[in-house]
DNA sequence: ACAAAAAAGTGTAAGTATTACACAAATTAT
DNA sequence: ATAATTTGTGTAATACTTACACTTTTTTGT
């Protein structure tokens, strides 16, 4: 076992986003402070999956390690999106109490590198370890620890920007999806409504969205055709930019 | 004078880009190591404008302060674009020699927050202070100190991405510019050639590119009409996205 | 004064993409 | 069988993109 020394001024926070065919969700971790030798709950709130980095790991590895430690999830496509270093980002009284009681001594200000990851939030098995991690609707993710409200906001702003300009949404859909699911996703992220016929016309130009010979099963209405995203076709045919709806 | 304590594991590096109607340029700072008590030049190379941050300044302020200290330039529109934390980013022998001789003790690995700024590289007055700062063509900016080759590469990749998707190039042009200058800029950054008539058709849709009642003077050919960018019109009329050439 | 050089400025036709709009078809549950 | 639900489809008007070449305006050199 190698010795791992914390860098006490640098952390990584991960905004793990999921879509459940209705809304965007984010994985948050319970932060309940119980004073030692008592059972008194001093406060209880939620944080992003985040932790300090070690001296012998790079940023991407730190992000992957932190997510694995807190949720059990591995091999997520984590992408760095922004770094946060406001002087007061740890200065809320609860944050101070928490840091005083967690056993390590941190510098007054910690710069955090923000990462995000996208995945379908259904069928994702979060492994509980000590501190509970769970999905929460993004719209309810307010009053988070530290500056994590702001970090989530920036992540979603980043995501929305990318959505307008390239087809990144497929990671948020199941492997086999219907065009209605895809449309709902775009509408949820971009906050717009699209006409069904025009949306489909647009999608039919994306030849990396390939129709399967399968239909939905177990739905109480006409079953929809299933599609999948072909990274292969995508890499080969996509243009420098992505024209989406204006 | 307030006491300023360095955070020895976090720095900011700024990629200050300029365009001179021909090519992209970047401001680099001379790093010549002369051993104390001798005049022997151990090595001499170039770095981005960068330095460690202080404990009592946030990231944006650090970036502005560093640029001012090294170049005299103030009020640049500095934007954060990516952070770098590879374990070996300071491990080149020259980097080690430099750090050993600069008087401070730094941690083995320093995470740096990358910022960029765009400006016309003509008429920019770089104030020399001790270490020389100057413009260099981006294409020649190879073999830089630390991992700065990579930082510059990432900055330009980021810039190119944004250029395809929104009209950010105006900061790289003089306040009054011709359509040919604008076209050259787009061609330089995007690495494409555009048809003059089609380019102008496209620009005429951007009603925030406003024609002036002035023409170029002092050129040895038919003088071109001058245009300027109106942030006012831009903020009011621009759509969520920017259709540029596919 | 004139010619040469240099870059500015301009139009059209064919093809492609976008928009707005409404109803029939397939399936399950009762 | 019927109701409920969601899928799936076409057209016409407008706007945008593409490919393509010559004339105009100005300065410089003779």
pLDDT higher than 70, residue A126: yes
pLDDT higher than 90, residue A191: no
**pLDDT score, position A238:** 66
Residues 104-133 of chain B within 7 A of strand D, judged by CB, are none
**pLDDT score, position A24:** 93
Maximal CA-CA distance, chain B? 64
Taking residue A183's Cβ as centre, other Cβ atoms within 10 Å add up to 18
CB of B88 within 8 Å of a chain A CB? The answer is no
Which band of pLDDT confidence, cut at 50, 70 and 90, is reported for residue A135? very high
- D24 C1' – B6 CA distance, angstroms? 63
- List Cβ neighbours of B232 (8 Å cut-off, separation of 6 or more): B208
Of A55, A56, A165, the CB nearest to B241: A165
**DSSP E strand boundaries for chain A:** 6-19, 24-34, 41-47, 49-54, 79-84, 111-120, 133-137, 209-215, 225-229
Phi, psi of B24 (to 5 degrees): -80, 140
Average pLDDT of chain A to the nearest whole number: 90
**pLDDT score, position A107:** 78
Q: Which of A 160-189 lie inside 8 A of B, CB atoms? A: 164-165
pTM of the model: 0.93
How many whole angstroms separate alpha carbon B108 and alpha carbon B111?
A: 10
How many whole angstroms separate alpha carbon A111 and alpha carbon A97?
A: 19
Closest by CA position to B229, among listed B124, B118, B73: B118
Distance from CA of A178 to the nearest CA of B (A): 26
Verify if strand C has an atom below 7 Å from the CB of B197. yes
How far apart, in Å, are the Cα atoms of B215 and each of B20, B145, B199?
Answer: 19, 44, 20
Closest by CA position to B26, among listed B190, B149, B165, B147: B149
How many whole angstroms separate alpha carbon A130 and alpha carbon A113?
A: 24
CB of A109 within 8 Å of a chain B CB? The answer is yes
**Which tokens hold the place of A73?**
């999830």
How far apart, in Å, are the Cα atoms of B57 and each of A110, B53, B61, B199?
Answer: 12, 7, 6, 44
Taken as a whole, chain B contains a residue count of 246
3-state helix/strand/coil string of B184-225? HHHHHHHCCCCCHHHHHHHHHHCCCEEEEEEECCCCCCCCCE
Contact at 8 Å (CB) between A149 and A141? yes
End-to-end Cα separation, chain A, in angstroms: 54
What secondary structure does DSSP assign to A112-176, as a single string? Answer: EEEEEEEEESTT--PPPBSB-EEEEEGGG--S-STTHHHHHHHHHHHHHHHHHHS--GGGGS-SS
Mean pLDDT to the nearest integer, A150-157: 97
Verify if strand D has an atom below 7 Å from the CB of A202. no
pLDDT higher than 70, residue A203: yes
| Paired sense of beta strands B6-19 and B111-120, if any | parallel
Residue written as token pair 């020394």: A5
> How many CA within 13 A on the CB side of residue A65?
14
**pLDDT score, position A144:** 98
Question: CB B59 to CB A111 under 8 A?
Answer: yes
CB of B151 within 8 Å of a chain A CB? The answer is no
**pLDDT score, position B123:** 67
**pLDDT score, position B21:** 84
Kindly report which amino acid residue has its CA closest to the C1' atom of nucleotide D10.
A197
Verify if strand D has an atom below 7 Å from the CB of A241. no
**pLDDT score, position A245:** 36
Percent of chain A clearing pLDDT 90 (strictly above): 70
Taking residue A185's Cβ as centre, other Cβ atoms within 10 Å add up to 21
- List Cβ neighbours of B194 (8 Å cut-off, separation of 6 or more): B183, B186, B187, B245
**pLDDT score, position A243:** 39
Which band of pLDDT confidence, cut at 50, 70 and 90, is reported for residue A244? very low
Residues 19-78 of chain B within 7 A of strand C, judged by CB, are none
pLDDT higher than 90, residue A95: yes
Mean pLDDT to the nearest integer, A234-242: 64
Closest by CA position to A203, among listed A221, A176, A180: A180
CA angle B38, B13, B85 (to 5 degrees): 100
Q: Which residue of A has its CA nearest to B89?
A: A58
Per-residue pLDDT of chain B (246 residues; tens, 9 = 90+): 667 888 989 999 999 999 988 889 999 999 999 988 888 999 999 999 999 999 999 999 999 999 999 999 999 999 999 999 999 999 999 999 999 888 777 778 999 999 999 998 766 788 877 789 999 999 999 999 999 999 999 999 999 988 888 888 899 999 999 999 999 999 999 888 999 999 999 999 888 999 999 999 988 899 999 999 999 988 887 654 443 433
How many whole angstroms separate alpha carbon A189 and alpha carbon B53?
A: 36
């Amino acid at each position: 076992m190698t010795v791992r020394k914390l860098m006490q001024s640098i952390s990584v926070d991960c905004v793990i986003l999921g879509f459940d065919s209705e809304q965007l969700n984010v994985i948050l971790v319970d932060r309940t402070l119980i004073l030692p030798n008592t059972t008194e709950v001093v406060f209880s709130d939620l944080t992003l999956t985040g932790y300090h980095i070690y001296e012998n790991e790079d940023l991407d590895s730190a992000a992957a390690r932190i997510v694995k430690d807190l949720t059990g999830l591995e091999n997520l496509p984590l992408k760095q999106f922004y770094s946060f270093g406001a002087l007061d980002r740890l200065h809320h009284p609860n944050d101070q109490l928490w840091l005083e009681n967690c056993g390590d001594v941190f510098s007054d200000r910690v710069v955090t590198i923000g990462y995000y990851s996208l995945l379908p939030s259904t069928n994702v098995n979060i492994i509980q370890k000590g501190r509970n991690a769970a999905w929460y609707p993004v719209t309810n993710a307010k009053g988070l620890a530290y500056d994590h409200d702001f970090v989530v906001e920036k992540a979603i702003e980043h995501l929305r920007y990318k959505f307008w300009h390239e087809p990144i949404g497929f990671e948020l859909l199941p492997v086999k999806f219907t065009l209605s699911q895809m449309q709902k996703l775009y509408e949820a992220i971009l906050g717009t409504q699209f006409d069904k016929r025009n949306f489909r016309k647009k999608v039919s130009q994306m030849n990396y969205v390939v129709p399967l010979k399968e239909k939905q099963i177990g739905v109480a209405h006409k079953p929809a055709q299933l599609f999948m995203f072909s990274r292969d076709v995508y890499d080969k045919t996509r243009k420098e930019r992505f024209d989406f709806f204006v």
